[in-house]
Amino acid sequence: MAVVAIATPATLALSYYHLTGDPTFRPLAITVERLVSQGVVEDDNVYVRTLISTDGTPEGNRLGERLGEKLIRAFYGKGLTARYRIDPQPRKGPPQILIFVNGTALGPFTARTAPRGIQLATEAATITRQERAKAAGASRTLSR
């Protein structure tokens, strides 16, 4: 009985998805970001991804985590959604940051030069939003 109670919602969602083709009912928690990448849903958000390369030591990884959290807060303050990933590598030196905006890589930056990277990423996001708005306006004009 417990198996039926647990499996019923997923089974119903999968059935509804197959009948209607509505991807929001597709099981396994499909994300809005994935729907946007498939062109099913339009989203004017610009996502920022950061890759923080550390020396692989526990201390270096903790420093990278703190840096990543600070970057998320800084981008949030600029109206951008950001994510980070720690990439431990066998190397010496402070963590290095690569910032990706709309497929464009910026950097590497150090913690000291990160504010410049945030500024560049914000400008790139603004340009991306403007291009999307122009493209949306052009497509609306063509459809009339």
Tens digit of each residue's pLDDT, the chain (144 residues)? 666 667 677 777 777 766 776 666 665 555 555 665 555 545 556 789 999 999 999 999 999 999 999 999 999 999 888 999 999 998 888 999 999 998 889 999 999 999 999 999 999 999 988 888 888 776 666 555
Same domain, 115 and 55: yes
Same domain, yes or no, for 7 and 54?
Answer: no
pLDDT of residue 28: 58
**Domain check: are 54 and 81 in the same one?**
yes
Residue 1: the pLDDT is 64
Same domain, 58 and 124: yes
Residues 29 and 77 in one domain: no
Helix (H) and strand (E) counts in the chain: 4, 4
Residues 51 and 33 grouped into a single domain: no
CATH of the domain at 78: 3.40.30
Within 13 Å and on the Cβ side, how many CA atoms surround 71? 34
Please report where in the chains the tokens 């497509």 appear, as a residue: 139
Does the reported pTM lie above 0.75?
no
Within-domain flag for 42 = no
Residue 18, pLDDT score:
67
Residues 33 and 99 in one domain: no
Contact 78, 27 (CB under 8 A): no
Provide the number of structural domains found in the chain.
2
Distance CA 65, CA 38 (A): 31
- By residue range, what is the domain housing residue 67? 47-142
Q: Are 16 and 82 found together in one domain? A: no
Q: Is residue 94 part of a domain?
A: yes
Say yes or no: 121 and 63 in one domain.
Answer: yes
Q: Are residues 17 and 85 in the same domain?
A: no
User: 33 and 51: one domain?
Assistant: no
> Do 62 and 104 share a domain, yes or no?
yes
In contact, 19 and 55? CB cutoff 8 Å: no
Residue 42: its pLDDT value, please? 52
